[in-house]
Amino acid sequence: MAKDSCLARITAGVAVGGAVGGAVGAVYGTYDAFRLRSVLPGFTKIRHVGQATLGSAALFGLFLGAGSLIHCGKSY
């Protein structure tokens, strides 16, 4: 296949965005949990890191998927 299908490009964009967003979210969530040490007790820190990771992964994946969708119709 000379050209990838549009769906394959969008799927790859969402996957790469999710991976990058997850990594950034994990780092930021960990930093934020340690920064809010006195406010977040015990296992709430772990939940905070997970929520930051999943939220960031979803947002980055959405934007990279949308960008792939926009560029899908263009031929350079």
Q: What is the pLDDT of residues 20-75, one digit of tens each?
A: 999 999 999 999 888 887 777 888 888 889 999 999 999 999 999 999 999 887 76
Contacting residues for 52 by C-beta, under 8 A, at least 6 apart: 25, 26, 28, 29, 32
Confidence band for 76, pLDDT divided at 50, 70 and 90: low
The per-residue pLDDT for 1 is 43
* Reduced 3-state DSSP string for 4-71: CCHHHHHHHHHHHHHHHHHHHHHHHHHHHHHHCCCCCCCCHHHHHHHHHHHHHHHHHHHHHHHHHHHH
The per-residue pLDDT for 25 is 95
Domain locations along the chain: 14-71
Higher-pLDDT residue of 65 and 4 is 65
pLDDT at position 3 over 90: no
